[in-house]
Amino acid sequence: MTDYRVSDLRPADRDVVYRFLSEDAYWSKGMPRDAFDRALANSISFAAYSGDGFVGYARVVTDKATFAWLCDVFVVEAHRGHGVSKLLLDAITAHPDLQGLRNVLLATRDAHGLYARYGFAPLAEPGRRMAIRRPYR
């Protein structure tokens, strides 16, 4: 089994993350580079590595007191099915800046089972939630 670890995103891997998010991810396709750079600067990033190779990523937007939004979670295809996403979620849920938050949200199309293991559930009152959605230009 390959040894995986989670740490901060290395500057050298920013382009890999940007390429995936802007070209492959269904939730962020077309993201402009300046939006990506601002998002990273204002979030807590978690990167998964195997040896020296980048294998996965997750980002949390938070006020570090009451709210967090978990987003941009992905694992490089060759490393899927090896527990990398669980390792990322373990690191996120243990992070000292993310303890005791009242609300932690995420959106997913196909990973409900993974997130349910960490306590996520469908919105209790979805009718009370609203959003503004704007496409990237």
Query: What mean pLDDT do residues 3-26 have?
Result: 96
What integer is the mean pLDDT of 33-49?
A: 97
For residue 136, pLDDT over 90 is answered with: no
pLDDT at 74: 97
Q: pLDDT tens across 90-134, in order? A: 999 999 999 999 999 999 999 999 999 999 999 999 999 999 988
Burial class (CB in 10 A: 0-12, 13-18, 19+), 119: exposed
Residue 63: both structure tokens together: 């006020």
> Contact 67/101 with Cβ under 8 angstroms?
yes
For residue 30, what is the DSSP state?
A: T
Interval 46-92: pLDDT, tens: 999 998 899 999 999 999 999 999 999 999 999 999 999 999 999 99
Given CA atoms 130, 128, 44, 79 in this order, what sign does their dihedral have? negative
Residue 83 zone, left/alpha/beta (φ > 0; ψ -120 to 50; rest): left
> What domains sit in the chain, N to C, each tagged with a CATH number?
4-128 (3.40.630.30)
Spell out the residues 6+ positions from residue 25 whose beta carbon is closer than 8 angstroms to its own: 72, 74
Q: Amino acid letter at 123?
A: L
1 or 11: which carries more pLDDT confidence?
A: 11
Q: What is the pTM of this model?
A: 0.93
Residue 25, pLDDT score: 95
Asked if 22 and 31 touch (Cβ cutoff 8 Å), the reply is yes
pLDDT attached to residue 89 = 98
User: Distance (Å, rounded) from C-alpha 65 to C-alpha 19?
Assistant: 31
Average pLDDT along the chain: 95
